[in-house]
């Protein structure tokens, strides 16, 4: 360990053993704050767009003070240890530039040995760090250096912290999800990616990072990096995670779910006596003080929930016990909606909840690292919706602005139009059914819009197979291209209006017709394979439904359309083009599981799932419409191919005595009312012994479920 790092750690160790000095925080000395609790919110810099904050130990090893920077304020602000008082300010050595060449400040780091601050700023495409004295605000010219990012065209640098062991600097590239360490000349010496691929559904939402030295064993110290982290369902970080300098997570996660501040930016971890804290700044100028608790053992982390085709919940996580590969020496306790419901061996890293609760639930984990030992604090929760609209998987969109989506029924591959593109030229992205990116297809339009996959069609006496029909966002001409992007032919689509637009596009293979949403007229339009108008329809006026969005897909099973409306509800619509009215059925579902304020683009039904383009968050989702059910016999609870008193007994034990759950919920639903309850074994009793009605189809022979949209299903 270098001397400078040893001095810093020694100060911290001394402060731990000194009497704790209460400094007027939001919680009282007698209260026990929990990890992630918001202790106070300072408004001393309210109205200033603060981007980062750093901790200064020089004033008082126990109390300390803070320095904060604003994006365009031209100042560095000195704050008291309780963040409530402005002690002074010095000039930002970068300045703010002038119109239109503003200089934007994004990070600040404190170096104790020189009592100086290092400030990171963006001057056009150049990223510079300058050093300034805290005593009088004079610039230290020899401390300045320039950072050249690994990917200059896409880099977005945020936060800056000083490494007291290596005498170097850490920063975060938020756009590329990587952490970097550079020396005092700006040359990278270490980098690692954020854990954004485990699971792949996580996205960074934070704007800063922090550095701290941890005592991992008596007189043994290791550096730790903290980053703000989140996912696509929130517009800002959901937690702060701790990592080693190898990029490995430690299991320490500080939730930010109780923090009701918008525009979260940089942060600083610090200690005040026995207390750990995190100061988080926001673009509104408010600064939150958050409790930071490190528990032993650390809980499992990176908990991920996903719905399966059979309406079960698959869980996966990362362990942080003392055994091989992080295994815990004791047990792992699974909790659903804060109530324990299963116990697993300490080396488990996945579990499937075969009997989840219908609706939205939260899951969390606790672990013990010794048999009979104390359990850790709960892990950070994950949330999942069971039933229709439950999310099975999702990925960030590879392009800039996803518009519409189509699928190949033979392979399940999907195709998504990007109507902006990385360089202003639209692109078509090709994914497989599991949302793995397979490649790109050149767009026939600068701004491609609606898209439909056409397995076979005859146009002008020419047979086209496996082509894409691609519309444009500012016209009605549709081009047919093969999967290399080669244009085969083009056809104008009629719609009966001068201001017609092609929104989402769908293909009806049995009739070789096309349907699309005209968002300008709030109508569904049907055309033949030559583009000639066959009819238009709109929802009944008496229903007072909101306008249709551009998303539309054809359901060949029901011979209906699924269409997205402005209220975020997907409604099934019967095609009624001749009468001019599209009548909704009684089947619909909301898309709340995709997050608040979601803006929906194209949709595509594949089997019992719906693929959805969320435009505002630039992400592709696969959600459940109804659970998968292979052939079964209704009433055959125990799946022995016979319906008898054994099924009555088995279902009664399951319902009232915690008996074995059914492997086929649909088969257990004896009266086909979409609910498993006491009425099902009673229904079977009446049928078996009192000449009651037989179970609805499929019965007595195995078959498909005619009421498949009932949120029940089978494992196999």
What's the pLDDT tens digit per position in 154-166? 899 999 999 999 9
What's the pLDDT tens digit per position in 433-442? 999 999 999 9
Tokens 């490995």 locate to 248
The pLDDT assigned to 33 comes to 67
Q: Encode burial over 488-522: b for 16+ CB neighbours within 10 A, e otherwise.
A: eeebebbbeeeebbbbbbbbbeeeebbbbbbbebb
- Per-residue pLDDT band for 577 (boundaries 50, 70, 90) equals confident
Pairwise pLDDT comparison (285 vs 496), residue with the higher score: 285
| SS3 call for 17 | helix
The pLDDT assigned to 3 comes to 37
The pLDDT assigned to 462 comes to 87
Residue 224 located in a structural domain? yes
End residue of a domain, out of 347, 362, 382: 382
d(CA 472, CA 479): 9
> Cα dihedral angle (89, 95, 101, 103), rounded to 10 degrees?
-70
For the cut 50, the answer to whether the pLDDT of residue 199 exceeds it is no
For the cut 60, the answer to whether the pLDDT of residue 176 exceeds it is yes
The pLDDT assigned to 483 comes to 96
For the cut 70, the answer to whether the pLDDT of residue 21 exceeds it is no
Pairwise pLDDT comparison (449 vs 598), residue with the higher score: 449
User: Which burial class, exposed, middle or buried, applies to 24 when counting CB atoms under 10 A from its CB (0-12, 13-18, 19+)?
Assistant: exposed
284 φ/ψ angles, rounded to the nearest 5 degrees: -85, -5
Same domain, 670 and 560: no
Same domain, 516 and 604: yes
CB 608, CB 309: distance < 8 Å:
yes
Q: What is the CATH number of the domain that holds 192?
A: 2.115.10
Q: How many residues does the chain have?
A: 716
The pLDDT assigned to 7 comes to 37
The pLDDT assigned to 197 comes to 52
The pLDDT assigned to 234 comes to 73
What's the pLDDT tens digit per position in 324-346? 999 999 999 999 999 999 999 99
| Low-confidence winner among 4-13, 27-36, 359-368 (lowest mean pLDDT) | 4-13
The pLDDT assigned to 61 comes to 52
For the cut 60, the answer to whether the pLDDT of residue 22 exceeds it is no
Residue 29 located in a structural domain? no
Is this structure's pTM higher than 0.85?
Answer: no
Same domain, 698 and 715: yes
What's the pLDDT tens digit per position in 475-490? 899 999 999 999 999 9
Q: How many CB atoms lie within 10 A of CB 327?
A: 19
Same domain, 12 and 139: yes
Same domain, 488 and 342: no
Residue 297 located in a structural domain? no
The pLDDT assigned to 201 comes to 53
The pLDDT assigned to 499 comes to 80
CB 137, CB 67: distance < 8 Å:
no
Same domain, 133 and 8: yes
CB 618, CB 691: distance < 8 Å:
no
Same domain, 596 and 642: no
What's the pLDDT tens digit per position in 49-69? 999 999 997 755 556 899 999
The pLDDT assigned to 126 comes to 96
Q: What is the CATH number of the domain that holds 614?
A: 2.120.10.30
pLDDT, averaged across the chain: 89
Same domain, 616 and 640: no
Tell me the CB-side half-sphere exposure of residue 345, using CA atoms within 13 A: 4
Q: What is the CATH number of the domain that holds 332?
A: 2.60.40.10
CB 171, CB 127: distance < 8 Å:
no
Residue 31 located in a structural domain? no
Which residues neighbour 575 within 8 Å (Cβ) at sequence distance 6 or greater? 515, 524, 526, 537, 559, 560, 561, 582
Sheet holding 126-133, edge to edge: 97-98, 101-111, 116-123, 126-133, 139-147
User: Based on the structure, what is the number of domains in the chain?
Assistant: 4
Q: What is the CATH number of the domain that holds 666?
A: 1.10.1330.10
What's the pLDDT tens digit per position in 540-554? 888 889 999 999 999
**Six token digits for residue 259:** 């923090």
End residue of a domain, out of 624, 641, 658: 624
Residue 484 located in a structural domain? yes
Domain with 414, as residue range(s), is: 392-624
Strands 609-614 and 86-91: unpaired
Pairwise pLDDT comparison (563 vs 708), residue with the higher score: 563
d(CA 272, CA 227): 21
CB 238, CB 183: distance < 8 Å:
no
Q: Distance between the two ends of the chain, CA-based, in angstroms?
A: 58
The pLDDT assigned to 27 comes to 36
**Six token digits for residue 625:** 């419409």
For the cut 60, the answer to whether the pLDDT of residue 98 exceeds it is yes
Same domain, 604 and 637: no
Tokens 């362990």 locate to 319
| SS3 call for 335 | strand
Name which of 632, 640, 644 is nearest 687 in CA terms.
644
Residue 241 located in a structural domain? yes
**Six token digits for residue 679:** 């009425």
Q: What is the DSSP letter of 632?
A: B
Same domain, 343 and 312: yes
Mean pLDDT, to the nearest integer, of 243-270?
92
Residue 387 located in a structural domain? no
Sign of CA dihedral 352, 356, 360, 362: negative
- Per-residue pLDDT band for 18 (boundaries 50, 70, 90) equals very low
Mean pLDDT, to the nearest integer, of 89-101?
94
The pLDDT assigned to 195 comes to 83
Name which of 632, 618, 633 is nearest 684 in CA terms.
633
Same domain, 455 and 564: yes
What's the pLDDT tens digit per position in 671-707? 998 889 999 999 999 999 988 999 999 999 998 888 8
For the cut 80, the answer to whether the pLDDT of residue 30 exceeds it is no
Same domain, 471 and 560: yes
Pairwise pLDDT comparison (712 vs 103), residue with the higher score: 103
CB 406, CB 468: distance < 8 Å:
yes
Mean pLDDT, to the nearest integer, of 305-321?
93
4 φ/ψ angles, rounded to the nearest 5 degrees: -60, -45
Residue 565 located in a structural domain? yes
């Amino acid at each position: 360990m270098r001397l400078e790092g040893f001095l810093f750690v020694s100060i911290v160790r001394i402060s731990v053993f000194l009497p704790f000095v209460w400094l007027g925080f939001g919680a009282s000395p007698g209260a026990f704050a929990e990890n992630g609790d918001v202790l106070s919110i300072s408004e001393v810099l309210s109205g200033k767009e603060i981007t980062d904050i750093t901790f200064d130990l020089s004033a008082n090893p126990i109390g300390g003070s803070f320095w904060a920077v604003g994006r365009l304020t031209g100042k560095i602000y000195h704050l008291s240890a309780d963040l409530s008082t402005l002690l002074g300010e010095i000039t930002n050595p970068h300045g703010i530039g002038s119109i239109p060449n503003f200089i934007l400040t994004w990070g600040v780091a404190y170096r104790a040995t020189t009592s100086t601050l290092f400030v990171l700023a963006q001057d056009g495409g150049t990223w510079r760090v300058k050093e300034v004295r805290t005593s009088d605000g004079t610039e230290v010219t020899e401390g300045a250096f320039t950072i050249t990012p690994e990917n200059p065209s896409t880099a977005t640098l945020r936060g800056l912290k000083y490494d007291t062991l290596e005498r170097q600097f850490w920063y975060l590239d938020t756009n590329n999800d990587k952490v970097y360490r550079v020396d005092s000349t700006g040359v990278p010496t270490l980098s690692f990616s954020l854990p954004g691929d485990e699971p792949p559904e996580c996205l960074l939402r934070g704007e800063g990072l922090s550095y701290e030295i941890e005592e991992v064993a008596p007189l043994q110290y290791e550096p730790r990096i903290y980053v703000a982290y989140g996912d696509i369902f929130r517009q800002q970080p959901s937690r702060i995670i701790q990592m080693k300098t190898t990029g490995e997570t430690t299991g320490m996660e500080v939730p930010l779910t109780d923090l009701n501040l918008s525009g979260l930016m940089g942060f600083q971890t610090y200690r005040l006596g026995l207390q750990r804290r995190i100061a988080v700044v926001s673009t509104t100028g408010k600064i939150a003080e958050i409790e930071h608790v490190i528990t032993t053992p650390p809980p499992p982390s990176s908990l991920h929930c996903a719905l399966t085709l059979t309406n079960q919940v698959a869980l996966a996580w990362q362990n942080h016990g003392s055994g091989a590969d992080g295994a815990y020496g004791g047990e792992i306790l699974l909790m659903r909606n804060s109530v324990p419901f299963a116990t697993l061996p300490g080396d488990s890293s996945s579990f499937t909840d075969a009997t989840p609760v219908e609706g939205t639930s939260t899951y969390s984990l606790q672990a013990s690292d010794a048999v009979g030992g104390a359990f850790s604090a709960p892990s950070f929760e994950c949330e999942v919706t069971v039933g229709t609209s439950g999310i099975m998987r999702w990925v960030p969109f590879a392009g800039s602005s996803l518009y519409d989506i189509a699928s190949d029924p033979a392979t399940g591959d999907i195709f998504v139009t990007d109507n902006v593109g990385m360089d202003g030229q639209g692109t078509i992205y090709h994914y497989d059914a599991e949302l793995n990116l397979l490649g790109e297809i050149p767009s026939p339009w600068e701004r491609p819009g609606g898209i439909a996959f056409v397995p076979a069609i005859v146009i002008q006496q020419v047979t086209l197979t496996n082509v894409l029909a691609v519309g444009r966002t500012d016209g009605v001409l549709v081009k047919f291209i093969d999967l290399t992007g080669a244009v085969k032919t083009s056809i104008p689509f009629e719609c009966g209006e001068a201001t017609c637009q092609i929104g989402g596009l769908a293909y009806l293979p049995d009739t070789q017709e096309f349907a699309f949403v005209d968002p300008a007229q709030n109508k569904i339009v049907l055309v033949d394979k030559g583009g000639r108008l066959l009819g238009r329809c709109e929802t009944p006026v008496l229903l007072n439904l909101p306008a249709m969005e551009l998303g539309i897909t054809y359901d060949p099973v029901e011979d209906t359309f699924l269409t997205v409306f402005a209220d975020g509800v997907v409604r099934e619509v019967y095609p009624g083009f001749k009468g001019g009215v599209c009548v909704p059925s009684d089947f619909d579902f909301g898309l709340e599981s995709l997050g608040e304020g979601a803006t929906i683009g194209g949709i595509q039904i594949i089997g019992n799932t719906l693929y959805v383009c969320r435009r505002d968050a630039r992400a592709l989702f696969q959600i459940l419409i109804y659970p998968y059910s292979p052939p079964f016999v209704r009433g055959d609870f125990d799946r022995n191919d016979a319906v008898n008193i054994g099924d009555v007994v088995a279902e009664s034990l399951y319902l009232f005595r915690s008996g074995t759950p059914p492997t086929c919920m649909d088969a257990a639903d004896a009266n086909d009312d979409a609910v498993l309850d006491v009425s099902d074994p009673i229904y079977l009793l009446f049928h078996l012994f009192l000449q009651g009605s037989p179970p609805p189809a499929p019965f007595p022979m195995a078959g498909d479920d005619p009421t498949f949209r009932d949120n029940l299903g089978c494992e196999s």
